[in-house]
Amino acid sequence: MTMLRIENLHVHYGAAEALRGGDFEIPEGVTVALVGANGAGKTTLLKAIMGLVRPSQGRILLGGKDVTGATPVRMVRNGLALSPEGREMFGDLTVRENLRLGALPLGLPESTVEKRIEEVCERFPKLAERLEQRSATMSGGEQQMVAMGRALMAKPKLLLLDEPSLGLAPLVTDEIFAIIHQLTRSGTTILLVEQNAARALSASSYAYLLANGRVVEQGESSGLLTDPNLRRAFLGAASDQNPAASRLGATGLTNIRLEKPDMSHKTFMPTFTSVDELAAHQLKGLQWTVEHAYQGSSFYREALDQAGITPAEIKSLDDLKHLPMTTADDLRDGYPFPLRAVPYEQIVRIHASSGTTGKRKVLAYTQKDLDDWVHFFARCYEMAGVTPLDRVQIAVGYGIWTAGMGFQLGVEKLGALAVPAGPGNIDMQIQFLLDFQSTVFCSTASMALLMAEEIHHRGLADKINVQKVIYGSERSSTSMRQKISELFGGAELFDITGLTELYGPGTGIECSHHDCIHYWGDYYLVEIIDPETLEVLPDGEWGEMVITTLCKEAAPLIRYRTRDITRIIPGPCSCGSILPRHSRIKGRSDDTFKFRGVNIYPSSIDTLLSSVPGLGSEFQVHLSRDDDSGRDHMQLIVERGQGVDPSRMPELVHEMLYQFKKQLLVTPEVELVDYGHLPRSERKNQRIFDSRLKDDVV
């Protein structure tokens, strides 16, 4: 819904025209930025909106009502408040007296005014200690807080902020912008005027660039910040050396303090423009890989010889199906350097999965393998809309595991700020989210849920600034995702994929349209097979993912069985990316269990529980066998949703049993427990406990 609409607004100061017919729109609940140099018309526009100057032409519509020319007092009563440039503080008055002025036009009862001062102090704890201090004796940052607090005393629907960072040190600017982020998250609509373009864009959803009283550029802030063409036009090389290189520079705004020296954004997306072009690249990669593996690895040479196929016989992508498959057992047999296809001297690093000696999957990398990995990890961030201005808190393991290292190097490649927190330690993680105002949080889904619940429990949702959660390495149900997003204050979730054998994490990620995983088809091929018959399944059908690398040197994979259950989604994505896609991982073919003749994926239980409102997302399945009768039992322990009344228990159990019978053809014994009853861990939560004879497990 549009809160404020401005049509063809002209403002004259005497004969001079300060605003020459701008159209603006400010939707409810978002922050819109006005960027421009001194004299561009920004402050004039704010003054016209507040009724401080009278427009010579045009209209101002608030909630559809024409308010052009209304007095400032009327505008405050209409729900607007201005925090002016230069703060305009009454220096002789105390902080408390200055704050009171903000509520003056509303004629509120004394008790309400006092209550609002308390609320402002909650938002700005620094002011709470200084209420009786004379404003003139405070620092610039503190005065800015008083000015913003004074505007908030009117509880505005629309807050106009004029140059909040003007003259402030970078650290204090950070603090002020953290508060602006919090205000946005709590639903305040903000019109933000700023000279610091990068700052204004990262804090807003939409931006207008003003020059000489006119709008010369406008668009979504994330686009202006990250799209290379828009960036060049909007920010460009607007430096002291070459001010005219961009629209912004050409309009006289050269004092842009970009946060990073090299923000000339490069893309990590492939350059292909058609599916055919991609296929040609893939065929070349496949031919190279088979030849390279045959020449370099005794394992592959033997396997290919046995299958009776030579590298020269690979003529099309269709020939892939003639190649022999590789499994996790082949990796273990070749311990400690399985599938090695280059001399030891070319290996620059190894990583390994968890597991005991002889069970670990070890993976070797050449320098090129690492460079490739880092490149497409940066691509993951790019696809999730992470920009060089983001702060990425990495709460996954560092060390012999591939995870942390990949997340870290990808962040640095992108040019964002990395907070290498490592896994666990919830107290420290929360402290970092508060202190560093991390905007992106990376972890497992279980850890994200644990953090989300803790943030909610401590009432910190509006004090942190996490806008995106990137999580991976395990299944996640829809209801679990909803819970994480909601408790993180509405963060956007991105499921990231990967496995140790294939570089590590970052081999694919959910796009902003959130209904698929894009995988990097320029680095590896995906086939879906029936895990029983090993037949290749048509696109769209669920089965086990089998992977063939296209440029991996140290340990290439040829038709490697991942055990991950997914399906290829045919056709292009609505997000516009040409990169191929598969569904979110549904489970593992070795996680699947058979109960009384029915194959059950744990994710089917996720889906089923998500479909019954009132049930939580956490569950455990305990499978046991009665030795006398030989009959199997399935006990299902499920949490009630948060805040769901225990009296609804019979109704919930009834509905759940009905759905189980209908969708999975089984009737488990159900135990419903309180929300938070089941254990949460920072790694993967174990959900299936099978104490039957192991031989029967699929």
Positions that interact with Zn ion (CB under 5 A): 511, 513, 573, 575, 577
Supply the minimum distance, in Å, between the C-beta of residue 518 and Zn ion.
6
Q: Measured from the CB of residue 693, what is the shortest distance to Zn ion in angstroms? A: 44
For every residue of 516-532, DSSP letters joined together read -EEE-TTTEEEEEE-TT
Residue 356 in tokens: 């005991």
For the bound state, the minimum distance from the C-beta of residue 406 to Zn ion, rounded and expressed in Å, comes to 21
- Smallest gap from Cβ 572 to Zn ion, in A, equals 8
Query: In this structure, what is the dihedral angle of CA atoms 623, 628, 630, 634, given to the nearest 10 degrees?
Result: -20
- The span from the CA of 263 to the CA of 236, in Å, is 9
Give the SS3 label for residue 245. Answer: helix
Which two tokens mark 665?
A: 């053809």
Q: How far is CA 125 from the centre of its chain?
A: 29
Cα separation, 647 vs 604, in Å, equals 27
3-state helix, strand, coil in the chain (%, to 5): 35, 25, 40
Rank residues 577 and 611 by Cβ distance to Zn ion and give the closer one: 577
The runs of H, that is alpha helices, within 165-227 are 170-185, 197-203, 221-226
Nearer to Zn ion, 180 or 585 (CB): 585
User: Residue 516 Cβ, how far from Zn ion at the closest point, in Å?
Assistant: 6
123 vs 518 by CB, closer to Zn ion: 518
For the CB of residue 576, give the shortest distance to Zn ion in the complex, in Å: 7
Short-list 53, 12, 8, 49, CA closest to 32: 49
CB 77 within 8 A of CB 67: no
What minimum distance in Å lies between the beta carbon of 493 and Zn ion? Answer: 14
Question: Nearer Cβ to Zn ion, position 520 or 593?
Answer: 520
77 φ/ψ sector (left φ>0, alpha ψ -120 to 50, else beta): alpha
User: Minimum Å distance from CB 512 to Zn ion?
Assistant: 7
The minimum distance between CB 271 and Zn ion, in angstroms, equals 18
* Cβ atoms of 514 and 583 closer than 8 Å: no
Q: Work out how close the CB of 463 gets to Zn ion at its nearest, in angstroms, rounded to a whole number.
A: 32
- Compute φ and ψ for 194, nearest 5 degrees: -145, 145
Considering the complex, state which of residue 584 and residue 683 has its C-beta at the smaller distance from Zn ion.
Answer: 584
Residues 6+ apart with CB under 8 A from 313: 319, 322
Of 325 and 575, nearer to Zn ion (C-beta) is 575
157 versus 581: smaller Cβ distance to Zn ion: 581
Which residue lies nearer to Zn ion by CB, 133 or 577?
577
**Comparison of 181 and 481: residue with beta carbon closer to Zn ion:** 481
Of 146 and 383, which CB lies nearer to Zn ion in the complex structure? 383
**Integer Cα distance of 184 and 290 in angstroms:** 54
How far is the CA of 360 from the CAs of 336, 337, 498, 558, in angstroms? 8, 11, 17, 19
CA pair distance 466, 51, nearest whole angstrom: 36
